[in-house]
Structure 1
């Protein structure tokens, strides 16, 4: 058992606090990871606001990279000293999705069996089974993906959630190909990841849509060929105009609201693809004319975590970063200490940053 510092949300809407966290020694199949960096993601704010569950207190943080400190019995894929990116979909290898060769849909992903606790023994719920706003965290060993240690922890950790979700939405789910036209609605961390993914895939035209001029500039820096300010013009008409009147081959909704989904639906070409990667809230509903769904053809699909397979995708993307072909550095707006997480939530909510990254 070790005592470390961690960022804890004790109640709905209450400011987070840095407090003592007890981390057990790893049991069978588990690993203790010394966290080097962890991105501040909207999902952590959703946890604090009670939007994920009411299993308070939460140990926040999940978009992380670090070094394996110790492992429990039966662990063979990682060892102490390995530089790893943490993931929240450690595939089981035995469920119906895994057995059908689709492990990115795994229905039985692994987390650590033991609980980290507050100093008084109160069990903590780790965000997405990770809890990495802490000096050290306990995870299932399958949540550790070994990558090249030459990568900066501040950028490597971003693959643990938002950037991977965006890149995967374009590459894995949307199957963007060379010469395709792509529109991305919403240019935060996930949307800009989709822009970067479309660029990697060789899209000829990448149209970034947002209402914030700052976010549109970030998207252009990551590979958008055109930008549309949806606060000033109809994005559906603008996307059609930029694609010869037809609409984009792939439209990615990185916002996850009924109005943005409708825009994505009508901004795609006939037989085009809509990818929903922005996460809706439970009360949201959508109504579309069924004849339009039938008549426009194509595919309407959702992207869970960018349909990624961490063991395949994380090392590949880190290699592309080290080759200078994927500018992960552009996603890091600021590096902050652990004590600045609450203030970083405010900057993120205001749209002042693409990603704040906690350095430990």
Structure 2
């Protein structure tokens, strides 16, 4: 039977979010109903509310979540009721050209639920990143559920659903940071600090944090940055070079996603170094650079989608590292809030007061 629960929606561009009744339909053959226990407030949710992703309103927001499988479709084999899972938006298909080439982290046909969740009047909802987890329950495809250690705090586990995984993966998977490398990270919010943690896990020798907010630079030091640069008072490129014997960093990660920060990343790297763009630009942003600079600097210019992760491989491993005390995931949780406080959490995010606000049930 369909179930009516509470959910947070964005009804129109830039309108404040609303907590309303939504309808969870009966799951299709490969669908799963998950009772949500925690969901982080990610900047991507704000992008949806602002119309920066697409215009398929109304959106059911929330995607950085963990919970317990409640009901499964007739053909589900991946999980069973009672499993504690982290939700993901890269449920790889195994059949597209990327999957067939052994690059499933680039899957072009990821799975989502086969039937829509709706408002009580029948209006279909567009779930953020195919998840829609600012709700008491949500409906996803079975492969969007990654089973992890059930002893883990849901508020911590859910962070792997987007931002923390994006940052760690940008360093470890996309940037291929190696032992002794120098790494610079531009933008020290949740994703940037996760990239710092990833660089530290990979054994980087020099980790440079760049931001315009001293509070965020202090957070970055707590997560393992060896040096900081205040972008309001220092030349970012020149300072990176000073801290790397005049050469530039081996890997520079842009966790902001603006033309000016990408150029800082490009010119702040060593010859044949790597630039990783993990911050998400908005559609109107453009970039103009001399083509000779692109040619003469060599190296790799990469975009990192979801930290080029494979949830089934990476989520359990990172939870194990957390439970061993080697990965400080809990320090990303700044505050725990109720479902009706998402709009206030967006304000706190914009003011740089939090790494993550997490809705908990």
TM-score, length-scaled by structure 1: 0.99
Q: Deviations over 1:41-73 (max 9, x none)?
A: 111111111111111111110000000001102
Instruction: Return the alpha-carbon distance in structure 1 between the equivalents of residues 326 and 139 of structure 2.
Output: 33
Equivalent position of 2:317 in the other structure: 316
CA RMSD of aligned residues (A): 0.7
Indicate whether 1:66 and 2:64 are aligned: no
Q: Are 1:192 and 2:203 counterparts?
A: no
Distance between the aligned counterparts of 1:206 and 1:162, measured in 2?
19
Separation of aligned partners in 2, 1:336 and 1:36 = 12
Partner of 1:41: 42
What pairs up with 1:169-318 in 2 under 5 angstroms? 169-318=170-319
3-state SS, counterpart of residue 312 of structure 1: helix
Cα distance in structure 2, aligned partners of 1:249 and 1:172: 15
Uncovered stretches (5+) of structure 2, i.e. residues with no partner? none
| Structure 1 stretches of 4+ moved >4 Å | none
Whether contact under 8 Å (2:52, 2:283) holds in the other structure is no
Which residue of the partner structure matches residue 110 of structure 1?
Answer: 111
SS of the equivalent of 1:18 reads strand
Structure 1 stretches lacking a partner, 5+ long: none
Check if 1:341 corresponds to 2:339: no
- In the TM superposition, residue 146 of structure 1 has moved relative to its aligned partner by 0.5
Distance (Å, rounded) in 1 between the aligned partners of 2:156 and 2:76: 26
Could you tell me how far apart the structure 1 residues matched to 2:12 and 2:163 are? 25
Secondary structure of the structure 2 residue equivalent to 1:85: strand
Alignment of 1:16-55 (within 5 A): 16-55=17-56
2:16 — aligned with what?
A: 15
Q: What does 1:69-218 correspond to in 2, within 5 Å?
A: 69-218=70-219
Matched, 1:350 2:351: yes
Partners of 2:30 and 2:175 lie apart in 1 by 34
1:340 CA drift (Å): 0.5
Tell me, what secondary structure is at the counterpart of 1:94? coil
Number of aligned pairs?
360
Q: How far 1:180 sits from its partner (Å)?
A: 0.4
User: 1:16 and 1:299 mapped to 2: Cα distance?
Assistant: 40
Deviation at 1:337, TM superposition (A): 0.4
